[in-house]
């Protein structure tokens, strides 16, 4: 308090210019208070309520799940006094032949456990498999206390879209695995969005809406993220069966219980102003505005409806929703997420309106929870900078008391907002790596940026309170996430080349010179995407066929082919490693993606030259390559369409049409994303099965039309072609063909055959200036 008083004293010479009770006076005061002092004091209530004994038990359970035969070799201690309040720390030391893991919370103790596995045992845990073979017997001895004091108050995980692009079909077994992964990587602020429709159903039914009206509002299971944000209503629905709501609610109880048991702070949803259209039937005098059409959707899925922030219903609905969650979930951890204007432009740029809009969201949650903090994605400032000028951004952020909002600087590795907004005008923010859009598969990212920029931000004077990962989809490009999660405890910049050598040694269980050379090439090529060029994975095989396609190629293609060579050379020695096999498949896919550009360019050039034999040859080359890409992906479980589709069908309620509707959701999202190619291919996936039966079929139709154009002497009609494949796409996403969810074939022999077939010609093809 003395520090704050001394800073406020600086304002006394100018106090005559202000009313001491005015907002402007205290706004100026807040700018003089060091960010860290003002911010950290506002988070006194954002701490675990779970007893230390329960947290210790949770960590012991994690260890038993991961190392069931070695769990007795570890001792877990949770000691909140290990660091100052609000800060995490952990220590490791061998005592009486046991490794003692001590952390300020269960999260910190679990982090200590993985820190030991990672750096002392050279083990590796990831979405695409674990490498635990290097954990020695007995365990390595830590003779002196190793202590890590964590510089970031919060370590955040998830994007509001992750629940639809990746988590949508998960059962408790998969969620348990993910929560274990979270805590081992230090995540203490995870999004917990499951089952919110069950709470909304309760709120709106009490207000007089019917279930049919809610079905028209919520939409389908694979599209709930966007109905929650007010982008669309109803597409992919209805949710159909009461059992689905209850199943999801039971799952959310397990998720929250486990998260809290570790000492995490789960983030619950809040009311951001979006309402069902049918609410106006009950409240015809409510002040409501329509939002702009999103994603090229048409009625009845748009427009969506936003309650005016000044309408009394806003506070009533928002308060009730929070109260229902608090009641259902045995309390709250005081952090809530909601996004009013996600890719939706406000009806006016008036700073008064924008301040009222944010104030209404905060006041609604605070009326039910006086300690509420609003966690908001900052994507709106990135996606529409033309609207969100400095005055609009400032008004919107300062409509909420400082420190009662945390902004996720969602895409900070490419487009940081904090530096353009005076650190979000004093509101606390979390520096995030977004990286993935739509769950796309394709090697890209910016390793050197995430190895340096979070540290620079940490060392700058700003309102930063944490670090986070915010991918729309997961289970790709794990190397980016492994490094980014380390930045949660690091205070110095990382030298990426040496870090990569250590990473691959852990990931594959052995050091290999060919692998090191390969990954150095990837570091300077695909993982040097400083502009975010590869974020939407525009690869020829999965792009909608047309003239003048511009596939992603921000790097030197020869480097990718060289990396492919290195991984193939290392394969005989490392192929027993599941994580190596995953990466071998992935680099083969990426190399074929590069080579496909030359075949596409040859196809278009041959057509324009009216060279029919060459068109047929180029087409054969491209179609054969897509088939071979499908073949190699078939050898690894993480690249299988069947895994996605079968998970959807398993989750479906056991009613007539249940499986068909859930499968429809799963197929539509990854293809046309809507009834009529609304944001087509946004969630594209290079998966075996999808390549063969969907993407390749589109190219085959394109080739037939090109050949018909030349043989009949008529111009190619792109519009007619688009309508033709819309029928093809609709038939596919409405279909029910079965696909394997277990790998088929041998990865090594398949890769070697493909490498032998394509590699010797690839360099010459690239030199023919098709790039």
The residue that leads in pLDDT, 34 or 763, is 763
> How far is 236 from 662, CA to CA, in rounded Å?
9
The total number of structural domains in the chain stands at: 3
CA 290 – CA 297 distance, rounded (Å): 14
Q: How far is CA 44 from CA 112, 337, 368, in A?
A: 24, 19, 18
Question: Do 637 and 749 fall into the same domain?
Answer: yes
Cα 409 to chain centroid, rounded = 13
128 inside domain: yes
Mean pLDDT value across residues 412-423:
97
Q: 40 versus 11: which is more confidently predicted?
A: 40
pLDDT at 763 (0 to 100):
76
766 pLDDT tier (thresholds 50, 70, 90): low
Are 740 and 753 in the same domain? Answer: yes
CATH number, domain containing residue 95: 3.30.379.10
> Which H or E run contains 102?
strand 98-103
Last residue within a domain, chosen from 100, 130, 149:
149
C-alpha 338/C-alpha 65 separation (Å) is 34
> Tell me, what CATH number does 434's domain have?
3.20.20.80
**Alpha helices (runs of H) in 67-171, residue ranges in sequence order:** 106-119, 162-165
Buried residues in 727-738 as b, exposed as e (16+ CB within 10 A): eebbebbeeeee
- What is the distance between the alpha carbons of residues 2 and 20, in angstroms, rounded to a whole number? 19
The yes-or-no verdict on residue 254 having pLDDT over 60 is yes
Mean pLDDT of 440-449: 97
Distance CA 101, CA 322 (A): 37
CATH number of the domain bearing residue 659: 1.20.120.670
What tokens were used for 69?
Answer: 């035969």
462 and 578, same domain (yes or no): no
Residue 715 burial (CB count, 10 A): 7
Percent of the chain with pLDDT over 90: 90
pLDDT at 24: 41
Q: Is 385 helix (H, G, I), strand (E, B) or coil?
A: coil
Mean pLDDT of 130-145: 96
Q: How confident is the model at residue 42 (pLDDT cuts 50, 70, 90)?
A: low
Please indicate, yes or no, if residue 643 is contained in any of the structural domains.
yes
- 560 with 634, same domain: the answer is yes
**Has residue 294 got a pLDDT over 80?**
yes
Tell me: do 98 and 166 sit in the same domain: no
Residue 458 DSSP SS3: helix
Residue with structure tokens 């106006």?
A: 280
Q: What's the whole-number mean pLDDT along residues 534-539? A: 87
**Is the per-residue pLDDT at 677 higher than 70?**
yes
pLDDT computed for residue 7 by the predictor: 39
Report if residue 656 sits inside a domain: yes
Is 10 within a domain? no
Judgement on whether residues 437 and 330 belong to the same structural domain of the protein: yes
DSSP annotation of 691: I
Within this chain, do residues 358 and 438 fall inside the same structural domain, yes or no? Answer: yes
pLDDT at 709: 98
Give a yes or no: residue 700 inside a domain. Answer: yes
- Alpha-carbon distance of 82 to 307, in angstroms, equals 47
Q: How far apart are CA 575 and CA 508, in angstroms?
A: 9
Task: Decide which of 125, 149, 173 is a domain's last residue.
Answer: 149
Residue 5 lies in a domain: no
Residue ending a domain, choose from 110, 133, 149: 149
CB-CB neighbours of 75 under 10 Å = 16
pLDDT score, position 33: 38
- Establish if 13 belongs to a structural domain: no
Q: Please check whether residue 350 lies inside any domain of the structure.
A: yes
The pLDDT score that the predictor gives to residue 16 is 37
Q: Domain check: are 541 and 405 in the same one?
A: no
DSSP 8-state assignment for residue 265: -
| C-alpha to C-alpha distance for 101 and 262, rounded to whole angstroms | 14
Question: Which of the residue ranges 41-45, 104-108, 291-295, 392-396 would you say has the lowest mean pLDDT?
Answer: 41-45
Question: Do 714 and 574 belong to one domain?
Answer: yes
pLDDT at residue number 325: 99
Question: Within this chain, do residues 568 and 545 fall inside the same structural domain, yes or no?
Answer: yes
Structural domain span for residue 404? 154-494
Residue 623 CB-density burial (10 A; 0-12 exposed, 13-18 middle, 19+ buried) = middle
Position 18 scores a pLDDT of 36
Pair 88, 108: CB distance under 8 Å: yes
Model pLDDT, residue 622: 98
Together in a domain, 114 and 163:
no
Long-range contacts made by residues 484-490, C-beta under 8 angstroms, separation at least 24? Answer: 484/433, 484/450, 484/454, 485/155, 485/185, 485/186, 485/187, 487/450, 487/451, 487/454, 487/455, 488/150, 488/152, 488/155, 488/185, 488/186, 489/111, 489/148, 489/150, 489/151, 489/152, 489/186, 490/455
Q: Choose among 123, 116, 124, 121: nearest CA to 136.
A: 121
For residues 268-272, give the mean pLDDT. Answer: 99
- Residue 39's pLDDT is 54
Give residue 271's pLDDT band: very low, low, confident or very high (50, 70, 90).
Answer: very high
In this prediction, residues 648-653 reach a mean pLDDT of 94
**Are 542 and 691 within 8 A, CB to CB?**
yes
The pLDDT, as a whole number, for residue 444 is: 96
Mean pLDDT of 5-17: 40
Do 228 and 144 share a structural domain? no
């Amino acid at each position: 308090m003395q520090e704050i008083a001394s800073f406020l004293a600086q304002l006394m010479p100018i106090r005559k210019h202000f009313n001491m009770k005015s907002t402007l006076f205290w706004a100026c005061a807040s700018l003089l208070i060091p960010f860290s002092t003002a911010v950290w004091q506002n988070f006194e209530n954002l701490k675990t309520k779970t007893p230390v004994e329960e947290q210790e038990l949770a960590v012991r359970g994690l260890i038993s799940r991961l190392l069931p035969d070695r769990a007795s070799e570890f001792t877990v201690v949770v000691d909140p006094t290990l660091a100052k309040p609000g800060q995490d720390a952990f220590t490791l030391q061998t005592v009486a032949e046991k490794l003692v893991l001590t952390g300020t919370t269960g999260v910190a103790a679990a982090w200590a456990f993985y820190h030991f596995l990672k750096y002392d045992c050279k083990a590796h845990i990831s979405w695409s498999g674990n490498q635990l073979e290097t954990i020695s017997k007995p365990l390595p001895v830590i003779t002196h206390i190793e202590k890590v004091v964590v510089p970031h108050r919060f370590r955040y995980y998830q994007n509001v879209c992750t629940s639809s692009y990746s988590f949508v079909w998960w059962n408790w077994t998969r969620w348990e695995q993910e929560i274990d992964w979270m805590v081992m990587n230090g995540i203490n602020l995870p999004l917990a969005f499951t089952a919110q429709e069950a709470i909304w159903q309760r709120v709106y039914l009490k207000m007089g809406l019917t279930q049919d009206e809610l079905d028209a509002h919520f939409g389908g299971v694979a599209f709930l993220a966007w109905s929650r944000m007010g982008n669309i209503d109803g597409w992919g629905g209805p949710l159909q069966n009461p059992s689905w709501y209850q199943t999801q609610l039971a799952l959310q109880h397990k998720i929250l219980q486990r998260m809290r048991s570790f000492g995490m702070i789960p983030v619950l949803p809040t009311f951001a102003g979006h309402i069902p259209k049918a609410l106006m039937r009950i409240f015809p005098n409510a002040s409501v505005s329509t939002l702009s059409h999103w994603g090229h959707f048409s009625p009845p899925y748009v427009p969506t409806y936003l309650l005016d922030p000044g309408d009394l219903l806003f506070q009533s609905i928002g308060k009730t929703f929070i109260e229902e969650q608090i009641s259902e979930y045995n309390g709250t951890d005081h952090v809530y997420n909601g996004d009013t204007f996600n890719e939706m432009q406000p009806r006016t740029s008036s700073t008064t309106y924008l301040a009222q809009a944010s104030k209404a969201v905060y006041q609604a949650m605070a009326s039910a929870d006086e300690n509420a903090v609003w966690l908001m994605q900052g994507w709106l400032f990135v996606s529409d900078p033309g609207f969100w000028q400095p005055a609009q951004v400032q008004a919107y952020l300062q409509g909420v008391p400082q420190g009662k909002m945390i902004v996720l600087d969602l895409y900070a590795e490419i487009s940081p907002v904090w530096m353009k907004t005076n650190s979000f005008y004093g509101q606390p923010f979390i520096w995030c790596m977004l990286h993935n859009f739509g769950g796309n598969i394709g090697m890209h990212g910016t390793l050197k940026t995430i190895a340096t920029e979070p540290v620079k931000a940490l060392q700058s004077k700003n309102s930063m309170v944490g670090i986070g990962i915010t991918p729309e989809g997961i289970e790709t490009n794990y190397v980016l996430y492994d490094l980014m999660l380390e930045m949660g405890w690091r205070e110095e910049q990382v030298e990426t080349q040496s870090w990569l050598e250590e990473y691959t040694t852990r990931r594959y269980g052995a050091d290999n010179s060919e692998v090191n050379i390969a990954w150095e090439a990837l570091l300077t090529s695909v993982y040097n995407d400083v502009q975010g060029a590869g974020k939407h994975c525009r690869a020829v095989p999965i792009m909608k066929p047309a003239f003048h396609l511009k596939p992603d190629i921000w790097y030197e293609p020869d480097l990718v082919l060289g990396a492919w060579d290195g991984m193939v050379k290392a394969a005989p020695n490392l192929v027993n490693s599941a994580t190596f096999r995953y990466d071998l498949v992935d680099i083969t896919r990426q190399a074929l993606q590069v080579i496909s550009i030359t075949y596409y360019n040859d196809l278009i050039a041959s057509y324009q030259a009216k060279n029919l034999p060459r068109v047929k040859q180029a087409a054969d080359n491209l179609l054969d390559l897509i088939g071979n890409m499908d073949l190699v992906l078939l050898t690894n479980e993480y690249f299988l369409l069947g895994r996605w589709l079968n998970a959807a069908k398993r989750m479906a309620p056991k009613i007539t049409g249940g499986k068909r509707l859930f499968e429809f959701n799963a197929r539509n999202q990854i293809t046309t994303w809507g009834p009529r190619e609304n944001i087509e291919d946004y969630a594209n996936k290079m998966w075996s099965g999808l390549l063969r039966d969907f993407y390749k079929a589109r190219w085959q139709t394109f080739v037939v039309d090109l050949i018909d154009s030349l043989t009949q002497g008529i111009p190619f009609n792109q519009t007619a072609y688009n309508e033709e494949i819309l029928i093809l796409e609709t038939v596919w996403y409405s279909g029910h063909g079965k696909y394997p969810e277990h790998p088929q074939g041998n990865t090594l022999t398949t890769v070697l055959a493909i490498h032998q077939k394509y590699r010797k010609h690839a360099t010459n093809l690239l030199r023919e200036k098709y790039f």
